[in-house]
């Protein structure tokens, strides 16, 4: 039998990998390939004009994750007698070259849904099929592919609850276990680069915090899933909003890179239901599955409204009057976690140091950027894109448009998160702020989220010198709120 190329992309796992299953079923050797295409691997590249912009290339934290995930995948493939062939350049040209070198007759991969990746994949598929190759593609990343879900009028859903209600009526396919035994190897392996030659890791070593926080790869994702589904998932409904406790799965990067699939998560939760016969087994599990639903919804929206990567879904928001920030002072204060609002600064520092931020805090910092600082949401999306290990075109676009009030099913514009109240409510014991803003650690709880309200004596006793070792608030909450509401009000007036 002739070899089949298995083109890995955002499906960096062996279990529940439909393209791998099909390649094995075809018979003959399987050649796993990953092609790093710096300019086109990005979801936004390649002629999708509307998408040039903040997502033009995978960000630095994503590249760090990818480096380690490829290493883990290569090790897993080697354990099964195979090898991961690494290349750099145009995927079509690299795949064609490997086909020529190995006599492969099949090229299989799992589908991607970002606009530019879709355009690129269509081109690759057409060219390879025209050359007489057996080309097959599969769904590995979603419970339901975006175009398969339509409302009663035959259009896309724009309200999450209706979308998810509909999805819950559909069956979820069981994940497929990789058969035991080796992955059949070709007689000769084509040439491959070393993962270091892809130059995904930063040149300046800023990645220590990432390395301390994460172990990329399928095995680590599986362990994280097992631990979460066996325990914290049942408290998810109560704990998921509190950034100081480990109440969420922290599986977003693994899901983004396809180290684990939503079907595997679904099946793990279903497995928990075996004893009780009740599915989902708890309210926490039900809400957790709905969060996977938000991920699906994000892909649904991206598929049907690809312009939302850069443009507001609600057109009126294109006229929004953003604040001037000519020297970038406000933006820098936000990026560096120096706004003077402790919960905002804690989130931005967690992001910088670990490449991840708790969802509640993502909402707070996003609202702060867009509403308090009145800087446009693509500024925030761009920063998240570069710094998140889970940076995901669909989820990030949805998250920012939701926060700015201009997306589908978005937070209403007048909902302006008050950072002090949010801090007091969701980090009342200050565990989160004390961890990420250590210069405030000795402040008593009641001043922790608003240090400027403490007396000079209290500040001195806690070692806090406002304006010196911790900033004064970059904007006044009440004034910023009033200005944001006035700017939003203008949207309702005719242009």
Nearer to ligand FAD by Cβ, of 4 and 396: the residue is: 396
Q: How far apart, in whole angstroms, are the C-alpha atoms of residue 436 and residue 357?
A: 11
Whole-angstrom Cα Rg for the chain: 24
Residue among 250, 301, 309, 375 that touches ligand FAD (CB under 6 A)? 250
SS (HEC) of 277-336: CCCCCCHHHHHHHHHHHHHHHHHHHHHHCHHHHCCCCCHHHHHCCCCCCCCCHHHHHHHC
Q: Retrieve residue 367's tokens.
A: 């609202």
Q: Which among 363, 371, 387, 364 is positioned nearest to 330, based on CA atoms?
A: 371
Q: How far is the CB of 300 from ligand FAD (least distance, A)?
A: 11
Exposure class string for 49-73: b at 16+ Cβ within 10 A, else e: eebbebbbbbbbbbbbbbbbbbebb
> CA 410 → CA 158, 313, 353, 370, distances in Å?
10, 10, 29, 14
Beta carbon of residue 386, minimum distance to ligand FAD (angstroms, whole number): 11
265/11 Cα distance (integer angstroms):
15
Is 226 a known ligand-binding residue? no
Site for ligand FAD in 353-392 (CB under 6 A): 359, 362-363, 366, 384, 388, 390-392
| CA 440/CA 407 separation, integer angstroms | 36
Among 42, 110, 395, 422, binds ligand FAD (CB under 6 A): 395
455 annotated to bind ligand = no
Contact (Cβ atoms closer than 8 angstroms) between residue 114 and residue 220: no
Would you say 162 is a known binding-site residue?
Answer: no
Q: Considering the complex, what minimum distance in angstroms separates the CB of residue 32 from ligand FAD?
A: 25
Give whichever of 356 and 447 is closer to ligand FAD, judged by the CB atom.
Answer: 356
The answer to whether the annotation marks 339 as part of a ligand binding site is no
State the minimum distance, in angstroms, from the CB of residue 363 to ligand FAD. 5
Is there binding between residue 399 and ligand FAD (CB under 6 A)? yes
Least gap, CB of 233 to ligand FAD (angstroms): 9
Taking the least distance from each CB to ligand FAD, the nearer of 388 and 475 is: 388
* Region from 101-109, 150-158, 252-260, 479-487 binding ligand FAD, contact rule CB under 6 A: 252-260
- Compare residues 102 and 403 and give the one whose CB is closer to ligand FAD: 403
* CA 350 to chain CA mean position, Å: 16
Please name the residue that has the structure tokens 């396919």. Answer: 173
Output 94 or 259, the one with its CB closest to ligand FAD: 259
Count CA atoms closer than 13 A to 485's CA, side-chain side. Answer: 10
HSE-up of 388 (CA within 13 Å, CB side)? Answer: 25
With binding defined as CB under 6 A, does residue 112 bind ligand FAD? no
Active site residues: 291, 294, 322, 359, 377, 400
288 in a known ligand binding site: yes
**Interface mask (CB under 6 A) for ligand FAD, residues 211-240, using x and -?**
-----------------------------x
- Return the exposure string of 449-471: e unless at least 16 CB atoms fall within 10 Å of the residue's CB, then b: bbbbebeeebbeebebeeeeebb
Return the number of other C-beta atoms located less than 10 Å from residue 205's C-beta.
Answer: 8
Using CB atoms, what's the residue nearest to ligand FAD? Answer: 399
Interactions with ligand FAD, residue window 254-313 (CB under 6 A):
255-256, 291-292, 294-295, 298
Say if residue 236 carries a ligand binding annotation.
yes
Q: Closest Cα to residue 69, out of 176, 248, 229, 214?
A: 214
Question: 225: annotated binding-site residue?
Answer: no
Quick one: 36 or 383, whose CB is closer to ligand FAD?
A: 383
Q: How far is the CB of 162 from ligand FAD (least distance, A)?
A: 17
Binding site for ligand FAD (CB under 6 A): 240, 248-252, 255-256, 291-292, 294-295, 298, 359, 362-363, 366, 384, 388, 390-392, 395-396, 398-400, 403
Annotated binding site for FAD: 236, 248-252, 288, 390-392
């Amino acid at each position: 039998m002739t070899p089949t190329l298995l083109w890995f992309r955002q499906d960096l796992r062996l279990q529940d990998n439909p393209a791998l299953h099909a390649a094995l079923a075809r018979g003959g050797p399987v050649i796993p390939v990953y092609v790093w295409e710096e300019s086109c691997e990005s979801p936004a590249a390649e002629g999708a004009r509307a998408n040039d912009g903040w997502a033009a290339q995978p960000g630095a934290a994503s590249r760090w994750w990818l480096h380690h995930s490829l290493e883990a995948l290569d090790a897993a493939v080697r354990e099964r007698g195979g090898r991961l062939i690494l290349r750099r350049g145009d995927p079509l040209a690299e795949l064609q070259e490997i086909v020529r070198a190995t006599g492969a007759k099949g090229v299989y991969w799992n589908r991607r849904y970002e606009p530019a990746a879709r355009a690129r994949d269509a081109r690759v598929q057409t060219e390879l099929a025209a050359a007489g190759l057996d080309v097959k593609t599969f769904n590995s990343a979603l419970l339901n592919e975006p175009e398969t879900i339509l409302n009663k009028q035959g259009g896309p859903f724009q309200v999450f609850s209706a979308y998810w209600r509909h999805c819950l009526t559909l069956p979820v396919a069981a994940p497929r276990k990789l058969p035991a035994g080796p992955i059949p190897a070709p007689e000769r392996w084509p040439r491959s680069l070393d993962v270091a030659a892809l130059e995904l890791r930063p040149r300046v070593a800023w990645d220590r915090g990432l390395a301390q926080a994460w172990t990329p790869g399928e095995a680590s994702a599986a362990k994280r899933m097992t631990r979460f589904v066996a325990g914290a998932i049942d408290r998810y409904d109560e704990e998921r909003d509190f950034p100081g406790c480990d109440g969420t799965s922290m599986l977003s990067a693994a899901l983004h890179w396809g180290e684990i699939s939503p079907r595997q998560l679904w099946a793990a939760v279903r497995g928990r239901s075996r004893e009780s016969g009740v599915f989902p087994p708890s309210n926490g599990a039900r809400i957790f599955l709905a969060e996977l639903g938000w991920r699906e919804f994000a892909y649904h929206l991206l598929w049907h409204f690809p312009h939302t990567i850069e443009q507001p879904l609600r057109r009126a928001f294109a006229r929004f009057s953003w604040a001037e920030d000519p020297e970038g002072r406000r933006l820098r204060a936000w990026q560096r976690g120096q706004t003077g609002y402790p919960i905002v600064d804690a989130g931005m520092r967690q992001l910088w140091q670990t490449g991840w931020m708790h969802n509640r805090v993502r909402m707070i910092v996003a609202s702060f950027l867009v509403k308090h600082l009145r800087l446009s949401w693509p500024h925030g999306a761009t920063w998240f894109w570069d710094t998140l290990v889970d940076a995901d075109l669909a989820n990030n676009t949805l998250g920012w448009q939701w926060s700015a009030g201009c997306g589908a099913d978005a937070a209403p514009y007048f909902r302006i998160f008050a950072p002090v109240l949010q801090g007091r409510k969701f980090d009342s014991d200050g565990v989160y702020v004390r961890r990420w803003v250590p210069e405030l650690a000795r402040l008593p709880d009641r001043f922790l989220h608003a240090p400027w309200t403490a007396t000079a004596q209290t500040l001195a006793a806690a070692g806090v010198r406002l304006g010196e070792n911790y900033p004064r608030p970059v904007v006044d909450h009440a004034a910023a709120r009033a200005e944001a509401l006035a700017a939003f009000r203008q949207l309702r007036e005719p242009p």
